[in-house]
Amino acid sequence: MAKTARSTFVCQNCGAVAPRWTGKCASCGEWNTIVEEADTTPMPGSGLSKSSKGRVVVLESLTHAGDDKVARIPTGLVELDRVTGGGIVPGSALLIGGEPGIGKSTLLLQLAAAFAKAGRRAVYFTG
């Protein structure tokens, strides 16, 4: 269902804005000066902006999205390299999840050992 535009209520005497109609303006105290006006700002989440910021957005085809190769660090564990797309991206966070007892801790300890053997450093967080 499409959202309808909001309305604001503006005092014609002092210009105060109210969220709903009232008989008396709370700012200047005048009676019957509140008039409903259509709000020109778009609804939040509509994808429309009130004014352009001067930026030009260029759309990129999904067929070219994977052209840029990201430098990855090979882990030395064949299946982990396969799952991560060829290794771990430097500066990234890798979340390993699964059922209890499935081998997450063992896999990460093997990864830390492989990094140590290759002369790299690793930090292992668990919670």
**Contact predicate 73/85, CB 8 Å:** no
Contact of 111 with 80, CB cutoff 8 Å: yes
Q: Residue 73: enclosing H or E segment and its boundaries?
A: none
CA–CA gap between residue 50 and residue 19 (Å, rounded)? 19
Length of the chain: 127
Please give the model's pTM, rounded to 2 decimal places: 0.45
Q: How far apart are CA 17 and CA 2, in angstroms?
A: 25
* Domain residue ranges in the chain: 7-38, 71-117
pLDDT in tens, the chain (127 residues): 555 566 788 888 888 888 888 888 888 988 988 888 876 666 666 666 555 556 677 777 777 666 567 788 998 899 999 988 888 888 888 888 899 999 999 999 999 999 889 898 888 777 7
* 89 HSE (CA, 13 A, CB side): 10
pLDDT in tens, 17-26: 888 888 888 8
